[in-house]
Structure 1
Amino acid sequence: MKLYIKNMVCNRCKMVVKSELEKLELSLIAVELGEVEIDGDLSEKKKIQVSQRLLGLGFELIDNKKSRIIERMKNAIIDLVHHQDNQIRTNLSVFLAELLLMDYNYLSNLFSEVEGVSIEHFYIAQKIERVKELLVYDELTLSEIAFQLNYSSLAHLSRQFKQVTGLTPSHFKGLKQTKRSPIDEL
């Protein structure tokens, strides 16, 4: 049986969810971003226990199909930007449509309807948050960051960064208190 879990956005989330589900004596087959496969089915009582335990940690069981699709899109984008260094060789629309085996227009409309922002805006927000993270680490130049995140140019990255944050990347880097946002709140 698969459980779909909202707000699982990083490897640390996977570890926390795995640990909590093992404490509930569930036999886990696989734990991935946004989903856990368990051996067998859950009774309604056990499902409520799992739901309550996850809610206490900031996660949420997802029961309806549309929410699961949206969560899979979000997790794919987060994984792409934050864990794979944005290395797709095609458009985001093609990437998502192929991954989910669904028409991109349907995915786009569903995402916008439920989340209130377009997939593209969500993707840009994730990329800008990754740029902030890399700027704070101070290990790469802005040009290297632009290349790593697949921007067409340094100017494009700088323009998009300023549109989203209101600051230039250089100004952001110079701030003593950098304001980064948790990726599950973007």
Structure 2
Amino acid sequence: MKLYIKYMVSLRCKLMVKQELERLGLHYTSIDLGAIEIVETITEKQKIQLKRNLSLSGLELLDDKKNILIDKIKNVIIEMVHYTDEVPKVNYSEYISEKLDYDYTYLSNLFSEVKGITIQHFIIKHKIERAKELILYDQLNLSEISYKLHYSSVAHLSTQFKKVTGHSPTYYKKLGKTRRGNLENL
């Protein structure tokens, strides 16, 4: 039986879900971002308990089909931006459509209707968050970050970065060093 969990976006979330399943005596065959496959059919009592326990950790067991699909879209994007270094061989719309086996227009309209932003804007926000992380890690230069996040150029990354954050990547890097320095002086 497959269950879907909202806000499950990290390895730490996977560990929390694993612990909850074990507490309830449920056996799983896989735990992925946003989805778990359990061996047994979950009872209503177990479902209520799982829902309650997950909510204490900031996670949510999904029941509604639209929300499940929205969460799948978000997880594909999060995995693509944050956890995969490989460049998709097709554009993002085709990649998402292929991964979820749905028409992209349907996915896009549903996502916009439910979330109030476009899939493209959601991707951009995540790419900029990832860029911010990489800038603060200070292991890659802007050209390398631009390439890693599949931007056509540093200028394209810088333009989107400034549009989303209000700052240039260079200014953000200086700001991060200043903050880190201030914390070290405490």
TM-score in terms of structure 2 length: 0.93
Instruction: Provide structure 1 residue ranges, at least 5 long, that are not aligned to the other structure.
Output: 179-186
Q: Hey, what's the Cα distance between the residues in 1 that align with 2:46 and 2:101?
A: 32
* Secondary structure in structure 2 of the residue aligned to 1:26: coil
* Secondary structure in structure 1 of the residue aligned to 2:139: coil
Counterpart residue number, 2:184: none
Counterpart residue number, 2:179: 177
Counterpart residue number, 1:156: 156
Q: Is 1:46 paired with 2:46?
A: yes
Conservation of the 8 A alpha-carbon contact between 2:7 and 2:58 = yes
Conservation of the 8 A alpha-carbon contact between 2:26 and 2:40 = no
Counterpart residue number, 1:102: 102
Q: Hey, what's the Cα distance between the residues in 1 that align with 2:56 and 2:179?
A: 30
Relative contact order (alpha carbons < 8 A, sep ≥ 6): 1 or 2 greater? 1
Q: Hey, what's the Cα distance between the residues in 2 that align with 1:25 and 1:156?
A: 50
Q: Hey, what's the Cα distance between the residues in 2 that align with 1:7 and 1:134?
A: 22
Q: Hey, what's the Cα distance between the residues in 2 that align with 1:86 and 1:161?
A: 21
- Please list the CA deviations of residues 96-117 of structure 1 after superposition, one character each: whole Å capped at 9, or x if unmatched: 1111111111100000000010
Q: Give identity over the alignment, percent.
A: 52
- Please list the CA deviations of residues 46-68 of structure 1 after superposition, one character each: whole Å capped at 9, or x if unmatched: 10000000000000011011111
Q: Is 1:28 paired with 2:31?
A: no
Counterpart residue number, 1:18: 18
Aligned length: 178
Instruction: Provide structure 2 residue ranges, at least 5 long, that are not aligned to the other structure.
Output: 181-186
Q: Hey, what's the Cα distance between the residues in 2 that align with 1:62 and 1:177?
A: 39
Counterpart residue number, 1:144: 144
* Secondary structure in structure 2 of the residue aligned to 1:41: coil
Q: Hey, what's the Cα distance between the residues in 2 that align with 1:65 and 1:86?
A: 30
Q: Hey, what's the Cα distance between the residues in 2 that align with 1:163 and 1:173?
A: 16
* Secondary structure in structure 1 of the residue aligned to 2:81: helix
Structure 1 runs of 4+ with >3 Å offset: none
- Shift of residue 40 of structure 1? 1.4
Counterpart residue number, 1:135: 135
- Shift of residue 86 of structure 1? 5.6
- Shift of residue 24 of structure 1? 1.7
TM-score in terms of structure 1 length: 0.93
- Please list the CA deviations of residues 70-127 of structure 1 after superposition, one character each: whole Å capped at 9, or x if unmatched: 1011000000000002621111110111111111111000000000100000000000
* Secondary structure in structure 2 of the residue aligned to 1:177: helix
* Secondary structure in structure 2 of the residue aligned to 1:21: helix
